[in-house]
Amino acid sequence: MTLTQWFIFFLIVQAVHFAGTWKLYVRAGRKAWEAGVPIYNAVVLMGIINRPKWWTILLFVPIVNLIMIPVVWVETARSFGFNSFKDTALTVLTGGLYLYYINYATDAPHIKGRDINPKSSSGEWTSSLLFAIVAATIVHTYFMQPFVIPSSSLEKTLLVGDWLFVSKFHYGARTPITTVATPMLHDTIYGTKTKSYLTKPQLPYFRLPGFQDIERNDIVVFSWPVDTLVDITPGNMRGSVRKPIDKKSNYVKRAVGVPGDSLEVRDGYVYINGEKNDLPDRARIQFSYTIVSKELLVKRAQDANGNYVFPSDLMNGRYEISDIYLSGVQGDNGPYVHTAQASEASIEKLKNNSNIISIERTHYDAIENNKAIFGAKPGRASSVDNFGPIYIPEEGKTVAINPESLPYYKRIIEVYEGYEMGRERDITVNGNEILMNGEPLTEYTFEQDYYWLMGDNRHNSQDARAWGYVPFNHVVGKPVFVWFSKDANVPGLAGIRWDRVFTTVGGEGPLVSYRYWFLGALLLYIGWSFFRKKKQPKA
């Protein structure tokens, strides 16, 4: 829906509210016209139902208002004596239209100073649950969201099994686009394949002001731009792409390229404006290696096929290689061939192990028209190790559109700044002429910033090299804290990575865990609560 459509819808809602409640306002000692003034009528209504005026704000917060509006309907009915379960059910099931009956068909007086405390334990439980959901939804949407690392693309900075808190306010919280959704669920209802939201109506994209820009090498959580595609290979993308931005799958990568940068990948290393990218000291680039050893470096997993997929304790511990598997055996009892994702520092240490016969890094040479890589076209060669140089689009900057540049910018024009912004744009090529909706297109000015997001695990990361730029309106937030970490390969409490519990994601130097500070603060709070209750006078 456009802003104009939403404004018309808002006026209709106000008219419906006025028609169904103006007599109730009068019975409560207010003026009839007060029921028809947008926003002011809600403030007045809070006084009528004996609720705080700040509830008015919650009526206009997307998703939260799905809970609050029915609550206000019920509270309005109860303020005029309609307290039974039947009244509550009719109020909710009729979408608030039961208030028309109370307004026109009864003379029920307003109950001033109504006791708003629940009359039963079940009522108290329901009230507490509703407002716990409201509070959690507000925190989840606008301040902090939990997130778990599902893949090894950012090893060893973030590990599989890290549980994060992602800040929404660093870069500015993105307000919900979907207006009807299950609170605190993302795109599906747990345990089912059912969508947790309605596609329509939608609000226009809007972001609250942040206090920090995305800086080069920041780790960023974002909505995966090509979510729902059956095939994400550039040039062969197919499938539904009309999923709301805020309901796309969440990914986490490192922003190695920011707006205005010229980016190139040479032999797996990123170069920005001709200079090798200087990563933070906690970041460790990983590549794929073939390791031949006299003895096994992995242990057998407990699965039906008995595959060797878990790293040995030595590999996972001393050498910090957690992504390794057996890929071949050269004889009855070895040597054994392994494929591993590892940092250069880990490989240097491993070379000194007498069990190792040879180690060779995998290199991917550039291939012409490599459709697995973003921007592929005849005459252009690329690979995951060798790519670019390309320009990272910046808001307000204009670029030439020609057959050479079109593969990089076509999706931006048609999708990110096209139908996702409510515009239908169709780009076609007629010989050397490029047309948008039938009109010649020779240049284009970007309407938002874009970022180049890659994993530190260069040979085992689904990232921008496959699907291209990430628009700023797809940015979710900044990971700031690891509150829990568990190695799924190690059963029970032994798998908890205590050195990572309550550690910061950013910063320089070795990780520092603040778990003892947290436990100390928790014990102090428990002790304070206990003694405070002891001092309270008994009834």
Burial class (CB in 10 A: 0-12, 13-18, 19+), 234: buried
Is 243 catalytic? The answer is no
Is 227 strand, coil or helix?
A: coil
The reported pTM is 0.86
Mean pLDDT score, 259-265: 96
Active-site residue flag, 151: no
Within 106-241, where are the H helices?
121-142
Q: How far is CA 211 from CA 167, 173, 223, 474, in A?
A: 12, 11, 20, 18
Q: What is the pLDDT of residues 215-256, one digit of tens each?
A: 999 999 999 998 876 666 665 666 665 788 999 988 999 999
| Residue of 247, 253, 478, 486 with catalytic role | 253
Give the per-residue SS3 of 355-399. CEEEEEECCCCCEECCCCCCCCCCCCEECCCCEEEEECCCCCCEE
Sort strands 308-311 and 398-400 into parallel, antiparallel or unpaired.
Answer: unpaired
Q: What is the pLDDT of residues 134-175, one digit of tens each?
A: 888 889 889 999 888 888 888 788 888 899 999 999 999 999
pLDDT at 268 over 70: yes
In terms of phi and psi (left: phi > 0; alpha: psi -120 to 50; beta: otherwise), the region of 411 is alpha
Tokens 């018309």 belong to residue: 8
Catalytic residue among 79, 153, 288, 346: 153
32-66 pLDDT, tens digit per residue, is 999 999 999 999 999 999 999 999 999 988 888 88
Is a pLDDT exceeding 90 seen at residue 361? Answer: yes
pLDDT at site 125: 73
91-114 pLDDT per residue, tens: 999 999 999 999 999 999 999 888
Q: What does the alpha-carbon distance between residue 487 and residue 159 come to, in Å, rounded to a whole number?
A: 9
- Out of 25-29, 58-62, 121-125, 149-153, the most confident range is 25-29
